[in-house]
Amino acid sequence: MSRTVLLIGVLIAGTGMTVFAGDYLKPPGPPGSEASRMRTLNEIEPATPIHSLPFVITNSGKYVVVEDLHGTNGQDGIVVQADNVTIDLNGFTLVGGTGSGDAIDITGKRQSIAVLNGVVRDWGRYGVYAIDAFYLSVVGITSISNGWGGTGSCPGIGLGKNSEVRDCISNGSKMAGISVKDSSVVRNCKTGGNGHRGIDAQNGSSVIGCSSYDNASDGIAAYHGTTVTRCTAYDNAFRGIFLLDGCTVTDCTAYGNTNVGFYVGAGVTITGCSASRNGAHGIYGGGGCIISDCTAYKNAGSGIRVTYDAYVKGNTASSNDGAGIEVAGYRNRIEHNHAASNDIGIDVNYGQNIIVRNTTANSTTREYDIASGNLMGVTRTSLTGADTWDNFDLD
């Protein structure tokens, strides 16, 4: 016998214990006994099931929809009258119907509400209504054909201040697809076929990674001080992306919209964006805006149009029916742009502007149409004797 086995035997004998290999694998009790039963999901994270509508929530906590549910004539679906509530649709659908109200109605100045994972469709008013609440989160919700039975503005998803809408779809609403108040975030959402704007984001909000298609008004509208990043507005019946003063727009696309691709207010910065085949100007910039490193292609108006105090730098404007770059005001700086195959390359209609370091080519009418009273570098067709401020005509 080895020394190891002998030592184990001595230890067992010394303690008076009898050990069998099977003891290590023995369950704590027979199957189904309290000792062996695993905890349920409700024990891990307690939740109240929702089996029917209407359903009124008056206490904080988590609530889970457990089947597809249908609304009632004259009633909202789920009404929230408490703070700190999570509603998980659990992949199911809340269906409205004739005379129904809001699918989910968060009343008054509630806060810390989350609505998750499901579909709300065919409600007479809002899909999710929470315009007076704040600190809300709506994630993974699909809103379809809501608002058609109500009067006034009934977006598919309408939230109050400091809210987040993420990974949602809003299609076919009577008014806006998604509407949020100040300091909110709309991220990775898709809107289409809505009766007004696709996305409407009020002051100081962020719209990130969204697409907005075939809406009856603007694809995306952002109010003062909002940031719009990596978004696409396509084939909307009015403007692609509409921005009020002090906004920032980066890496966005406006394509095939009926009116202007990007229509922006004063003090807006537009960088790295593309405006193509829109029914009016590609980019229309307000006072004091910066437009840089953008492309404007085959728009029915000018590729880029600015009014006053703007800086237009490093852009490419080609094949537009108007000018590649049009200046319709004073004190603008037009520098280092390329305009090719437009009606007019660079068109400056007022004085007190500076036009330097640009290139034009293949314009239908003329390369440069510059009013008197402007500062402009010499226009050259050769590099011979060129100065750093000169403009060039490549024809």
pLDDT band at 153 (very low <50, low <70, confident <90, very high): confident
pLDDT band at 34 (very low <50, low <70, confident <90, very high): low
Asked if residue 15 has pLDDT above 90, the reply is no
Q: Residue 278 falls within a domain, yes or no?
A: yes
Which two structure tokens, joined as six digits, stand for 207? 């719209």
Task: Report residue 194 CA to chain centroid gap.
Answer: 15
Q: Residue 101 falls within a domain, yes or no?
A: no
Distances (CA, A) of 320 to 290, 299, 332: 20, 5, 21
Q: 370: domain range?
A: 239-395
Q: Which residues contact 34 (CB under 8 A, 6 or more apart)?
A: none
For residue 387, count CB atoms less than 10 angstroms from its CB and return exposed for 0-12, middle for 13-18, buried for 19 or more.
exposed
Measured distance CA(377)–CA(339) in Å, rounded: 16
- Given this model, what pLDDT does residue 10 score? 36
- Given this model, what pLDDT does residue 395 score? 84
- Given this model, what pLDDT does residue 29 score? 52
What integer best gives the mean pLDDT of the chain? Answer: 91
- Tell me which residue has tokens 């035997």: 9
Q: Residue 128 falls within a domain, yes or no?
A: no
Distances (CA, A) of 99 to 122, 150, 173: 10, 8, 16
pLDDT band at 32 (very low <50, low <70, confident <90, very high): low
Measured distance CA(339)–CA(323) in Å, rounded: 8
- Given this model, what pLDDT does residue 283 score? 98
Closest CA to 95 of 165, 145, 150: 145
Asked if residue 35 has pLDDT above 60, the reply is no
Q: How far apart are the first and last CA of the chain?
A: 102
- Given this model, what pLDDT does residue 46 score? 85
**313, 335 contact by CB (below 8 A):** yes
Work out the average pLDDT over 64-89.
97
Q: Residue 53 falls within a domain, yes or no?
A: no
Asked if residue 202 has pLDDT above 90, the reply is yes
- Given this model, what pLDDT does residue 37 score? 52
Report the CATH number at residue 386.
2.160.20.10
Q: Would you say the C-alpha torsion 40, 45, 46, 48 has a positive or negative sign?
A: negative
**223, 264 contact by CB (below 8 A):** no
Q: Residue 341 falls within a domain, yes or no?
A: yes
Asked if residue 358 has pLDDT above 60, the reply is yes
Number of domains in the chain: 1
Work out the average pLDDT over 127-144.
97
**144, 121 contact by CB (below 8 A):** yes
pLDDT band at 385 (very low <50, low <70, confident <90, very high): confident
Cα dihedral 238/239/244/246 (nearest 10): 170
Closest CA to 156 of 112, 123, 117: 123
- Tell me which residue has tokens 């502007």: 353
pLDDT over 90 percentage in the chain:
86
Phi, psi of 379 (to 5 degrees): -90, 125
Work out the average pLDDT over 120-131.
97
Q: Looking at 11-20, 158-167, 176-185, 364-373, which range is the least confident one?
A: 11-20
Q: Residue 42 falls within a domain, yes or no?
A: no
For residues 386 and 353, the model is more confident at 353
The full length of the chain comes to 395
Asked if residue 1 has pLDDT above 70, the reply is no
Q: Residue 395 falls within a domain, yes or no?
A: yes
Q: Residue 17 falls within a domain, yes or no?
A: no
For residues 94 and 31, the model is more confident at 94
Measured distance CA(61)–CA(50) in Å, rounded: 13
Work out the average pLDDT over 53-59.
97
